[in-house]
Amino acid sequence: MNTKTTYRSIAAILLSLALVWMTSCDGSKKTDQEAKETEVLPADVVELRADQVKIAGIATGSVELRSLSGNLKVNGTIGVAPQNLATVCMPFGGFIRSATLMPGNSVSKGQTLAVLENQEFVDIQQNYLEAKSKLEFAEADYKRHAELYKEDVYSQQNLQKVTSDYKVLKSQVKALEQKLAMIGINPSGLHEDDISRSVNVISPISGYVKTVNVNIGKYVAPTDVLFEIVNSDKLFLELTLFEKDADKVSAGQKIRFFINNETEQHEAVIYQTGKSVNADRTYKVYASVPGACKNVLPGMYVNAIIEASGQNVASLPAEAIVSFDDKDYIFVFDRDKQENGKAFTEYRMVEVHKGVTDEGFTEVRLPDGFDIKASRVVIKGAYNLLSAKKNAGEMSC
């Protein structure tokens, strides 16, 4: 039923009710005793005669337990987990000798991204091999002096000196091994004939090249970003909700999202909700994207629909709920009665709180003590009852 039809229906009902009451007032003059016996209705009750109930189209039903999946439309962006985004630098800097990759190229973990030259690479390798050679001699000398000390041939002071020299060299070798590892050289495979002035810049993850900041001959400092590598196999959504919707989402809920106004639908699952509200009264929700999605890349803007959990909740047809003074109400059948030989029906207004709406039904949070099984709720004509209630004073004699 459209709005105009509804207004016409209400107007006709009000006119009918007014005529009935006016006729009643004009056609029979009550005595003082009858006026005293007139019933005063409670503020939350409205009554109609049998013919008025028929004209108003009143129909009753019961509260249903239904699985509602109200949808919430939100916006957000696509992100990538920290372990799937790599910023590639070179700890000691150097000059770029070789670089062939372009943004968008696919790379594998361990693949060479560029070749870097630096005199310091030569110095580190030379220092390591020298320290390693000295350590071998110092270790043998330490063991020999330790045996002589046990046989009281060597003094404790001399043993301490040899031990100290051995430990110093050992720590130097360990430190140089770590420096070699930082520039991508395996210490165990390094020999005197293998010293090189260049090292390979290696990709730490598989993915595609997002950013390239190098060219042949360019000098790069240790703090310069050479490449950015992104693995788009595991993406997530960062969605922004308003504060009022924070209680409508939880981990495990499914999400449908779209990118670039495409009609192709993608899926995600909420894995975490924000723990605080931002200054602009918004709330963050994070969802993982299972599997790979075509054309979905980090940084893209998305439109998403969050599907509310499909649990069974108390629900009524949407037209059974009316709004009055910024509150929501339903009408419940109270009783049938007789007055002056005429049949009347009383309906009681009950305040409720609305939840999600899905396929014409709305979740209702009922007051404590409300008997769902026994109560007969007005599911058709509720707005007509509300109009009659509002105009009851005007139609009284």
Residue 276's domain is classified under what CATH number?
2.40.30.170
Are 288 and 271 within 8 A, CB to CB?
Answer: yes
User: Quick one: DSSP state of residue 252?
Assistant: T
Share of the chain above pLDDT 90, in %: 49
Task: Give the pLDDT confidence score for residue 230 in this predicted structure.
Answer: 92
Give the confidence band of 180 by pLDDT, cuts at 50, 70, 90: very high
Residue 287 neighbours by CB distance under 10 Å: 26
pLDDT value at 31 more than 50: no
pLDDT, tens only, 41-51: 888 899 999 99
**Is it the case that residue 21 has pLDDT exceeding 70?**
no
In contact, 118 and 218? CB cutoff 8 Å? no
Q: Are residues 53 and 19 in the same domain?
A: yes
CATH of residue 96's domain is: 2.40.50.100
Residues 346 and 369 in one domain: yes
* SS3 per-residue string spanning the chain: CCHHHHHHHHHHHHHHHHHHHHHHHHHCCCCHHHHHHCCCCCCCEEEEEHHHHHHHCCEEECCEEEECCCEEEEEEEEEECHHHEEEECCCCCEEEEEECCCCCCEECCCCEEEEEECHHHHHHHHHHHHHHHHHHHHHHHHHHHHHHHHCCCCCHHHHHHHHHHHHHHHHHHHHHHHHHHHCCCCHHHCCHHHCCCEEEEECCCCEEEEEECCCCCCEECCCCCCEEEECCCCEEEEEEEEHHHHHHCCCCCEEEEEECCCCCCEEEEEEEECCCCCCCCEEEEEEEECCCCCCCCCCCEEEEEEECCCCEEEEEEHHHCEEECCEEEEEEEEEEEEECCEEEEEEEEEEEEEEEEECCEEEEECCCCCCCCCCCEEEECHHHHHHHHHCHHHHCC
Same domain, 23 and 116: no
Mean pLDDT of the chain: 84
Q: Do 132 and 151 share a domain, yes or no?
A: yes
Q: How many domains, the chain?
A: 3
Is pLDDT at 38 greater than 50 in this prediction?
yes
Rounded CA separation 123/271 (Å): 50
pTM across the whole model: 0.56
pLDDT of residue 153: 64
Residue 110 pLDDT > 90: yes
By percentage, how much of the chain surpasses pLDDT 70? 86
Per the DSSP assignment, residues forming a β-bridge with 115 are 98, 200
127 and 180 share one domain: yes
Instruction: Mark which of 229, 251, 276 sits at the end of a domain.
Output: 229
Asked if the model's pLDDT at residue 367 lies above 90, the reply is yes
Q: Are residues 280 and 329 in the same domain?
A: no
pLDDT tops 80 at residue 137:
yes
Can you say whether the dihedral through the CA atoms of 87, 93, 99, 102 is positive or negative?
positive
Domain boundary among 162, 197, 229: 229
Per-residue confidence (pLDDT) for residue 8, from 0 to 100: 46
User: Using an 8 Å Cβ cutoff, are 378 and 60 in contact?
Assistant: yes
Q: Are 297 and 326 members of one domain? A: no
- Indicate the residue among 203, 229, 255 that finishes a domain: 229
In a shared domain, residues 300 and 316 = no
Same domain, 263 and 326: no
Kindly state the average pLDDT of the residues 337-344: 90
In this predicted structure, the answer to whether residue 119 has a pLDDT above a threshold of 90 is yes
Instruction: Indicate whether 132 and 214 sit together in one domain.
Output: yes
**112 shares its domain with 196:** yes
Indicate the DSSP class of residue 82: G
What confidence tens digit (pLDDT) does each residue in 267-306 have?
899 999 888 888 988 989 999 988 777 778 888 899 998 8
Q: What is the pLDDT of residue 345?
A: 94
Confidence of residue 20 (pLDDT cuts 50, 70, 90): very low
Does one domain contain both 75 and 57?
A: no
Provide the pLDDT confidence category of residue 127 given band limits of 50, 70 and 90.
Answer: very high
Domain assignment of residue 389, given as a range: 3-68+312-395
